């Protein structure tokens, strides 16, 4: 990476652009689904890939943990902390790949946070019989912090039936990878998995304290000349 690219990245332009692109893709997908599909409506792209519209009150992949308000406030705090940590890594000139993955995670969190904060304020209720519509701010289906997250990606990779002889579940249908998720969830999941695979060293030394970056060779030569 050239010095000009490094300078632009270290100033945060790379992070800002990546964040903007992820949020744009995520929100365009969600708004299209929200305004074109009934709740629980589904159409098939391939036998193993469907667009299925659901909404959830909780965490990624439809999990629900704790109260809705607590989850939304937790997201706000987590996004703020992660944004500050990314800023520190930029100042310390951390590896670009590490910052990219952190930005993906933050962008995914912000994407779902937008749903929680705004969708209840600007959309009517989605139902199995009607498509949601945009309304003036405040006239939506839920109070601030209580909006539901829009999910749409469904990958039923394997659909089969449990053998009859199996206790409790014999004869019942099962689907391998049944969660329905969105683009923001995918960014968070890919970012976290890649961090643990490729950046374990950085994860083991996480700190929110600002550290003085080591001087570059050019800085050392300048100091010696002075």
Instruction: State the Cα–Cα distance between residues 5 and 202, nearest whole angstrom.
Output: 23
Q: Which of 26, 115, 139, 185 is catalytic?
A: 185
CA pair distance 99, 198, nearest whole angstrom:
12
Active site residue 115: no
Residues with Cβ < 8 Å from 146, sequence gap 6 or more? Answer: 68, 69, 72, 116, 120
Cα-based angle 19, 188, 157 (whole degrees, multiple of 5): 125
The active-site residue out of 26, 115, 139, 151 is 151
Residue-level length of the chain: 226
Q: What are phi and psi of 50, to 5 degrees?
A: -130, 150
**Is 26 an annotated catalytic residue?**
no
Q: Looking at the annotation, which residues are catalytic?
A: 151, 185
């Amino acid at each position: 990476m050239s010095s000009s690219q490094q300078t632009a990245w270290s100033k945060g332009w790379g992070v800002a652009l990546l964040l903007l692109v992820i949020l744009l893709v995520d929100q365009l997908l969600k708004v299209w689904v929200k305004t074109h599909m009934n709740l629980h409506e589904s159409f098939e792209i391939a036998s193993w890939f469907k667009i299925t519209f659901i909404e959830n009150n909780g965490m990624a992949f439809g999990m629900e943990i704790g109260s809705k308000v607590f989850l939304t406030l937790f997201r706000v705090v987590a996004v703020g902390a992660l944004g500050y940590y990314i800023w520190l890594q930029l100042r310390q000139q951390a590896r670009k790949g590490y910052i990219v993955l952190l930005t993906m995670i933050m962008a995914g969190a912000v994407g779902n946070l937008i749903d929680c904060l705004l969708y209840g304020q600007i959309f009517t209720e989605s139902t199995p019989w009607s498509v949601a519509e945009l309304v003036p701010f405040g006239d939506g289906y839920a109070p601030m912090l209580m909006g539901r997250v829009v999910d749409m990606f469904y990958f039923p990779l394997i659909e089969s039936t449990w053998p009859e002889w199996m206790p409790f579940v014999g004869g019942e249908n099962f689907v391998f990878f049944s969660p329905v998720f969105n683009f923001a969830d995918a960014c968070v999941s890919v970012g976290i998995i890649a961090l643990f695979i490729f950046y374990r060293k950085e994860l083991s030394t996480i700190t929110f304290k600002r550290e003085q970056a080591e001087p570059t060779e050019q800085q050392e030569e300048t100091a010696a000349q002075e």
